[in-house]
Amino acid sequence: MRVAVIGGKLQGVEVCYLAKKAGWEVILIDKNITVPAKGLSESFFSINVFDKKVADLLKNTDLIIPALESLEVLQELQKIAVEIDVPLLFDLDSYKITSSKIISNKLIRNLKIPQPDQWPNCKFPVIIKPSFSSGSKGVRKISNYLQLSNLNLKELVDDWVIEEYLDGPSFSIEVAGFKENYRTLQITELQMDPSYDCKRVIAPANLQESLQKKLENIALTIAQKLRLKGIMDVEVILSGGQLKVLEIDARIPSQTPTVVFHASGVNMLKEVGEAFKWGKELTFQKNKDEAVIYEHIRVDSEKIEVLGENIMTTGGPLTLMENFFGADEAITNYTAGQNQWIATVIFKAKTLTEVWEKHKYFIENLKRTFKIQKYIDNFPN
């Protein structure tokens, strides 16, 4: 299948990676010529979506896959897809709800699904985050009223979410919908860097079976309410023995789909893409059971540091490499002789113990090879 991926940042990397694993030919479109996903595509076109030439490019594809979050661009893509009669793997109606944390929080409340208490009905510390932004962008922890009062409260009320800070492990689950048939995928565990950006994803998740069932039911309830068509992810935190929903996003996420693919053998992009193109029923048949660690590192002459995924936007086009200093795979800008580079590294093994041993060997190998002593792997305070 020949697919067009629109957007070459972190979502674009995820989509291009899974498309390659599906054996698809990828045409990548982005107005920026140095986007990370450029090196993971067969063809790249630097062009604005609003250029009239885009429709001609998309006519010769089997499927259009948006990998960005601009509502204006998404609406234009939907219009083009209808005009040229090529399926668009996206649910714009669901996205309009989930792209606003204020609107999606109201939806979750109405469904009586647990979530963090909202300010002012909670104690300090609190987390503030932009309503219209995904990931860790703009997220801040506020410890007292003095810190909060120094901010623009009018702006916060109108455009930001303020909610209780919860301490505990975080988990993610994807759910897909097609023709009102909804299926959940494997749960993954998320680990954050000090700025609350996800630095590592682990499977299988350390979550007891009864809570896994609850999380699956939460994801299905939300998907059914939205009448989801496509892929959505649900992020939760386990606090006081209860799962609370932090965020939902009706679009293809970054990081976790790759982990699900390696851990379970299920390529969610392939299955959902074939459903949109040919009407195939969603099954998500698990065909393997492996332990996976997926993380982002930055290496320079002095240190190896594990950091959130946003570092992967700082090094230009990335390429896929296998058997990378002991990691099974790496998506990286590394070239021989470099002493400063970034990489997303992937480790696979039969058990979590074995995969952490593989990870340990990788770090020690990097230290020896590049003569580095310092290894930094910090968490939020």
191: containing domain = 96-102+167-278
pLDDT value, residue 368: 97
pLDDT value, residue 379: 95
pLDDT value, residue 145: 80
Q: What is the pLDDT of residues 136-190, one digit of tens each?
A: 567 888 888 888 777 765 555 567 888 999 999 999 999 999 999 999 999 999 9
Spans in the chain with pLDDT lower than 70 = 133-137, 152-158
pLDDT value, residue 135: 58
CATH of the domain at 12: 3.40.50.720
- Same domain? For 191 and 256 the reply is yes
Query: Quick check: 372 and 304 in contact, CB under 8 A?
Result: yes
Overall number of domains in the chain: 4
CATH of the domain at 213: 3.30.470.20
Our CA angle for 201, 37, 280, nearest 5°, is 75
pLDDT value, residue 38: 98
Structural domain includes residue 84? yes
Query: Quick check: 295 and 289 in contact, CB under 8 A?
Result: no
pLDDT value, residue 26: 98
3-class secondary-structure state, position 344: strand
pTM confidence score: 0.95
Query: Quick check: 136 and 198 in contact, CB under 8 A?
Result: yes
Q: What is the pLDDT of residues 193-240, one digit of tens each?
A: 999 999 999 999 999 999 999 999 999 999 999 999 999 999 999 999
- Same domain? For 174 and 155 the reply is no
- Same domain? For 175 and 159 the reply is no
Query: Quick check: 190 and 136 in contact, CB under 8 A?
Result: no
- d(C-alpha 22, C-alpha 10), whole Å: 19
End-to-end CA distance of the chain: 46
pLDDT value, residue 131: 81
pLDDT value, residue 206: 97
pLDDT value, residue 136: 58
pLDDT value, residue 159: 78
